[in-house]
Amino acid sequence: MNLTMQYNGHSTFNTFLVLICALFSVVGCAHAQTDHPDVKPANFAIEELGNGIYVHHGAHLDIDTGYQGDICNISFVVGSLGVAVIDTGGSFKVGNQLRDAIKKVTKLPILYVINTHVHPDHIFGNAAFLQNKPDEAKPVFVGHAKLGDAMQLRKEIYDKLNQKYLGDDAKGSEIVKPTLPVKAVMDLDLGDRTLRLTPYAVAHSNTDISVLDSKTHTLFTGDLLFIERTPVVEGDIKGLIAAIDDLKTYPATQVVPGHGPTTKDWLTALNNSQRYLNILLTDVRNSIKKGESMERAMDTAAASEKDQWQLFDIANRRNVNTIYPMLEWE
């Protein structure tokens, strides 16, 4: 995403700044309640889904209530040859906690570090996985073909936000770009299992990928799916609706969303998210057709969904702020 976003030639740089500043406050996730056993190194809880799938659920926090770099789902998959990490958290500190948790589960090497998209709560733990012993190979960093450029374009803004909200915990939180870009569907070999990575056009962001494990049919959606808390649109709402349609066709048995609890009832979760997005899209279009201001649309769009989602008032207004300028030029 360029620092100056354009909709049919119209610059909306101020809108972009609002969106970036909003990232931290709109991407919280709920703690999951499960029956799976947990690994808890240094109070960093890991949910074990079975068959080598592990997930850490970040705290459900808005920026005003104490963002600490640990608000999204970060995961790892253990194969017979080694480990793949799926998102690394919002700081070097969180990345180190994840790395320590992996070491408590397996001595196998970390082969891949996958980022599902560019948002800071998912990428700033990457640097923790560069600290290998001299005799260890550095893992391959994997992401959407547009991820490296997106990281670079956002670096200055993200660094300032990290320093503002994380303080000392921001130390070491450096951008680590992908060394393996995902331009089309590709498989990563972990020995007894493969991970299928699928890139998307502009949806939640312009850098989204999903990950499907061949052994357990666990689907890691990144922020293409939120469960329990209001879905967030930074990219294109129509693209996100289409991406959800695509996700529904996958042979998954359980889903790890970008934020919220893991679920086996994943089609319902996708339908819930898509319902909200379709209502939001329809309501904003109607507001524009009636000549209502964006501020008015922020107060009314998708109001029928208010009781269905956490952090609705915060996230829904920001979603309107994102999509209203785009839809004006349909």
**What pTM value is reported for the model?**
0.88
pLDDT for the residue numbered 305? 98
The tens digit of pLDDT for each residue in 154-180 reads 999 999 988 888 888 888 999 999 999
The per-residue pLDDT for range 13-53, each reduced to its tens digit, is 333 433 444 443 333 333 333 333 344 444 789 999 999 99
Stated as kind and residue range, the H or E segment containing 63 is: none
- For residue 227, the one-letter residue type is I
| Residue entry with tokens 């080694």 | 82
Tell me the mean pLDDT in the region 300-307.
Answer: 98
- Per-residue pLDDT at 227 exceeds 50: yes
Q: Please check the confidence at residue 97 and state whether its pLDDT lies above 90.
A: yes
CATH number of 6-328: 3.60.15.10
Provide the percentage of residues in the chain whose pLDDT is more than 90: 75
> Amino acid identity, residue 89?
G
What does the domain layout of the chain look like in residue ranges? 6-328
Kindly tell me if the per-residue pLDDT of 1 is higher than 50.
no
Q: At what angle do helices 312-328 and 266-289 cross, to 10 degrees?
A: 50
Q: How confident is the model at residue 137 (pLDDT cuts 50, 70, 90)?
A: confident
Place 63 in a pLDDT band, splitting at 50, 70 and 90.
low
Phi and psi torsions of 87, nearest 5°: 70, 150
pLDDT tens digits for range 196-219: 999 999 999 999 999 999 999 999
